[in-house]
Amino acid sequence: MPLHNYNPLSPLKKPDCSQSVSLFRRGWVRTGVLSMVLSLSGGMSLAQQNLPSMGEPADNALSPIEEKQLGAQFMRQIRASMPLVRDVPTTEYIQTLGNRLALASGKASQLDFTFFVINDDQINAFAIPGGYVGINVGLIEAMNREEQLAGVVAHEVAHVTQRHHARAFALGNQYSIRTAATILAAILIGQASSEAGQAALAAGMAANQQSAVNFTRTNEIEADRIGIEILTNAQYNPNAMAESFAILRRQNSLNTSRGALQYLRTHPLDENRIAEAKDRARVSADQSIAPQTDFQLFKARLAVMATEDRGQLQRTFQAKFDAKPTAETTYGLALIHLEANRLDKAESYLDQLRDLAPSHPLAELSRAQVMENKGDLDGAVALLEKLYENYPERFSVVEKLVDLQTRKRRLSKAMEITKQYLRRNTDPNPLAWRQLASVQERLGQTAASHESLARYFTGLNELGRALNQLKLALQYVEPESKDELRLKASMNSIRGIPPGQNPDENKEEN
């Protein structure tokens, strides 16, 4: 589904994962990739072998740059074949939470992290090379407080910062390309269908190779320890790690018909780990419980997007609301009525939400949507402009304001708002570049539009497509102009060509 036609509150559909097999036919899969592949489901152990020391065999086997490149290739396949949640406010929340934890790790300057949500009701989370962390809707729904979700995410961040992927890669050269491809197929398919994934895995692996799917206890305990430190540094209660483990154990005991939870199959949770996590938390500084409003609204929005039965979800929210209104149930009911175009009811719940979450940006975005749906574009723009003054760094606000300014044909204003957002943020949402490209195209700035699209694709690590956009931009600038020199310099940078060196113009782009 094209992003520009995406309705964020429409039920998310799971795509056909048969596309996954195309990944294995490409030339980048090489011997030793097994260990990297395993991390897609959270698993990466190599039969309890001793880990190499940091900075030596791991770096020799896979440099940080190579790790990032391999992770970007995996991420491109994930975007193509998995049901990612693409709603901007939702992705903004999980990225903000993840960035807080990454910064608290003390290694955010070395690694750029990307956090994303998968519309899958199985309880699972995983990290892949280069700082990509995925969290299933099912796991988010199982958590009761933000710090519990943060505990799981901090654990995955620790796997990345400790370079467990590269360590395992250094030990994985005995595995064949065929085995690596088979396991990758099982994991990617298994994200959408655990039964299909298990069948693919069983068909392609011998019993001794199958044991490699699980993390080593050494890696798990290290990720627990570092994760608790990250939670503490991020001003979360460090006890949340043990709490999240307890929730997973409880959910696993209730999951009698489907076997072990997917997360526990790849992150074994024995009797000692909860106790060990509690003991480690005791030596950390005590932290108060984090405010839950952002988390509650995030969960409500995610529930409305992910459900396949809005009627049942409405009844559930309504029963909880009648018992005791909360920000989560009130916002959830407002969204359900908004999506059903019952605008007065949606507005009524949003009015009640003001007492529970005063002037919250998510609530105000929904209020602007109600006004837009009622035909009051001027009122919606005025509300969004006020929201933009308070939250200029939030792309969810910028995106909606620019969209309405564009609809009102205030193209220069829309372009300036987007450029201000891009200037203010060191790590902007790549979608801002695509939105800017659309406005520039409507203004007749064709070269600038292609250049902005190149920045968008670069942000997604789609470097071949970025180069194609830069080539198109070159067709609309004067030869030997400053614009041409800038565009060619950008092309050389993407290709990794040092300044002053002539590129091979006939080189095929991937």
List, for residues 374-422, the tens digit of each pLDDT value. Answer: 999 999 999 999 999 999 999 999 999 999 999 999 999 999 999 999 9
Among 64-68, 71-75, 87-91, the minimum mean pLDDT is found in: 64-68
Determine the pLDDT at residue 426: 86
Determine the pLDDT at residue 150: 95
Q: Strand order in 132-136's β-sheet?
A: 114-118, 132-136, 125-128
pTM: predicted TM-score of the whole model, two decimal places: 0.80
Task: Tell me what the mean pLDDT of segment 81-89 comes to.
Answer: 91
Residues annotated as catalytic are 156, 224
Identify the structural domains of the chain with CATH numbers, from first to last.
29-282 (no CATH), 298-495 (1.25.40.10)
- The span from the CA of 387 to the CA of 139, in Å, is 31
Helix, coil or strand: residue 84: strand
Task: Tell me what the mean pLDDT of segment 2-14 comes to.
Answer: 42
H or E segment and range at residue 118 = strand 114-118
Summarised one tens digit per residue, pLDDT across range 280-339 is: 666 555 565 667 999 999 999 999 999 989 999 999 999 999 999 999 999 999 999 999
HEC string for 289-349: CCCCHHHHHHHHHHHHHHCCCHHHHHHHHHHHHHHCCCHHHHHHHHHHHHHCCCHHHHHHH
Structure tokens at 76: 């491109």
Q: Is 12 in contact with 119 (CB distance < 8 Å)?
A: yes
Q: Is 105 in contact with 226 (CB distance < 8 Å)?
A: yes
H or E segment and range at residue 186 = helix 177-192
CB atoms within 10 A of CB 416: 14
